[in-house]
Amino acid sequence: MIIAAPQDFPWHHTPIFAVVAGVVVLIAIAARSRRELAQTNLKLCKSCGTSHPDFACFCRKCGRNLST
């Protein structure tokens, strides 16, 4: 059994490389859209102005209740 050295194996010709590249691109797109979505749904603390995700209940800086 002969195993080819990495430089002899044509990685750019294999369908596996295309699938892996596609998965990486999809993950990058999903991460970017998730960050943008997280930035649009922000709550601001009325006391100190710190921004928080939409699900936050209390300010992480001053401790004020964000629902009031």
What digits encode the pLDDT tens for the residues 8-60? 666 566 777 788 889 999 999 888 877 776 666 688 899 998 988 888 899 99
Higher pLDDT, 62 or 34: 62
**Residues 6 or more apart in contact with residue 15 via CB below 8 angstroms:** none
- pTM, to two decimals: 0.41
Q: Are 31 and 39 in contact (CB under 8 A)?
A: no
**Residues 6 or more apart in contact with residue 5 via CB below 8 angstroms:** none
Does position 6 have pLDDT exceeding 90, yes or no? Answer: no
